[in-house]
Amino acid sequence: MSRPRRRSGPLAALATGALTVATLTSTSAPGHGAAPTVGFEMPFPCAQSWTGTTRSGHSPSPHAIDWNRADDDGLPVVASAPGVVATAVPGGTRGYGRYVVLEHAGGAQTYYAHLSSVSVVKGQSVDQGALLGRVGSTGNSGGPHLHFEQRAGGSVAEPWFHGARFVMGTQASQNCVDVPVAGNFLGDPGAELVVFRRAEKATFEIQRPGLAPKVLRLGTATDQPVVGDWDGDGRLNPGIRSPTTTTFTLKMPSGVQQVVLGAAADVPVSGDWDGDGRWEVGVRRAVDGVFRLRAPDGALTDVPLGDVGDLPVTGDWDGDGDTDLGVYDVASATFTLRRVDDDGLAWLAQVAFGSGDDLPVTGDWDANGRTDLGVWDPSSATFTLRQAPVPSAARAETSSVSFGRRR
Ligand SMILES: [Ca+2]
Ligand SMILES: [Ca+2]
Ligand SMILES: [Ca+2]
Ligand SMILES: [Ca+2]
């Protein structure tokens, strides 16, 4: 699915000259496995402290971790690394109870067990830091805690977090993730680069050339970002969707609008579906990959597009004022863009752009009224932007901009 992450343990550190003798020694000590090729973080939101314990006799392996903290029943459990949901069991009563398995690059897996609720479905792609479910005590469990495993080659492996071997005790999660976003927030003609910074008090950070980023505060670490021109003044506004309550909170200077739509696992999308200048919301359903678009009167339109594991994108590819739909396939780094002509016929264009673990972003970089494509590389926090006369053009200009926090 992806290349090895650049910051992922001693081998990556060696490349940057940061490897210490102590790390080398512990890596080669008997009984210790090699560092994982995936850059795992703790399965909890940024900065939360949790106490992790391992023990001999722990089933299925002494490498499995039980995570606890005070009053932990019902607290969010998030993805340790980006991946695809291999297993989601929302109703389990024995063994792992309600649990989730994520499949990562190179066949690595992570297990999240004894959950009180599961927020994802099998087959969907989830980003690092995304909500998977909540801590519970389902299955073979004596009280609320998170049972967590990292697996390699099918076997439970010694766990690593943030490039270091796990050590028992209390530690703060460094699962502090930026999510790439873009759009015209500032009112000048082109789109700005934006990241949604997952934190207990989450923020949208809007790049301003030559100035500090403009910071808009909205949402929490486990909310999903969604941006759009909710009030129709020509500038984008921030929004979030809570997967827990399936409620969108759309923030405007005049106030907040709330919309309830979709299931917990669904991914929010936004666009001006009817071309009147005010944007609407929708979801891409995780179970079947169908876009469900919501009109201002609440009417719903379903548009199937792409595979379940694809990531949704939206933009006005043809510049007619109506927002169009698209999907990005991470494994092949290919956008599939859909537009509808004056006769109501739908047309698809495929554009190969990006690589590795890149995440898709869209925005009108060159301010010509047609939305362009881009990707953000999490390991370098670099946006690569594509500008072309039309989205399907074979020749396109690309530019790279570093913005956001590297993972
Ligand atoms: Ca606006
Ligand atoms: Ca509209
Ligand atoms: Ca359009
Ligand atoms: Ca453009």
Q: What is the per-residue pLDDT across 244-265, written as a single tens digit (0 to 9) for each?
A: 999 999 999 999 999 999 999 9
In a domain, 2, yes or no: no
Statement: residue 90 has pLDDT above 50: yes
Q: How far is the CA of 16 from the centre of ligand 1 (A)?
A: 43
The count of structural domains within the chain is 2
Q: Residue 116: exposed, middle, or buried by beta-carbon count in 10 A (0-12, 13-18, 19+)?
A: middle
Q: Which residues surround ligand 3, an ion (CB under 5 A)?
A: 316, 318, 320, 322, 324
Q: How far is the CA of 192 from the centre of ligand 1 (A)?
A: 14
Rounded distance between C-alpha atoms, residue 266 and residue 59, angstroms: 33
Residues 318 and 259 grouped into a single domain: yes
* Average pLDDT in the chain: 91
Q: How far is the CA of 357 from the centre of ligand 4 (A)?
A: 24
The pLDDT value recorded for residue 67 is 98
Looking up residue 235, the CATH number of its domain turns out to be 2.120.10.30
Residues 159 and 192 grouped into a single domain: no
The pLDDT value recorded for residue 391 is 66
Statement: residue 282 has pLDDT above 50: yes
Residue after which a domain boundary falls, among 157, 172, 187: 172
Residues 82 and 183 grouped into a single domain: no
Residues 326 and 369 grouped into a single domain: yes
Q: What domain range is 215 assigned to?
A: 178-402
Return the SS3 of 165: strand
Which ligand is closest in space to the CA of residue 230? 1
Q: How far is the CA of 304 from the centre of ligand 2 (A)?
A: 20
Q: Are 242 and 232 in contact (CB under 8 A)?
A: no
Q: How far is the CA of 233 from the centre of ligand 3 (A)?
A: 19
Rounded distance between C-alpha atoms, residue 230 and residue 253, angstroms: 10
Q: How far is the CA of 36 from the centre of ligand 2 (A)?
A: 46
Residues 219 and 102 grouped into a single domain: no
Question: What is the DSSP secondary structure assignment for residue 105, as one 8-state letter?
Answer: G
Mean pLDDT, range 103-130, rounded to an integer? 97
Residues 338 and 302 grouped into a single domain: yes
Q: How far is the CA of 238 from the centre of ligand 2 (A)?
A: 16
Q: How far is the CA of 228 from the centre of ligand 2 (A)?
A: 10
Residues 269 and 357 grouped into a single domain: yes
In percent, the amount of the chain with pLDDT more than 70 equals 91
Rounded distance between C-alpha atoms, residue 185 and residue 366, angstroms: 15
Residues 340 and 357 grouped into a single domain: yes
Looking up residue 115, the CATH number of its domain turns out to be 2.70.70.10
Residue after which a domain boundary falls, among 125, 141, 172: 172
In a domain, 35, yes or no: yes
Q: What angle do CA 337, 343, 344 make, to 5 degrees?
A: 50
Which ligand is closest in space to the CA of residue 227? 1
Cis before residue 189, ω within 30 degrees of 0? no
Rounded distance between C-alpha atoms, residue 281 and residue 270, angstroms: 4
Which ligand is closest in space to the CA of residue 296? 2
Q: How far is the CA of 272 from the centre of ligand 1 (A)?
A: 12
Mean pLDDT, range 329-347, rounded to an integer? 95
Q: Does the model's pTM come out above 0.85?
A: yes
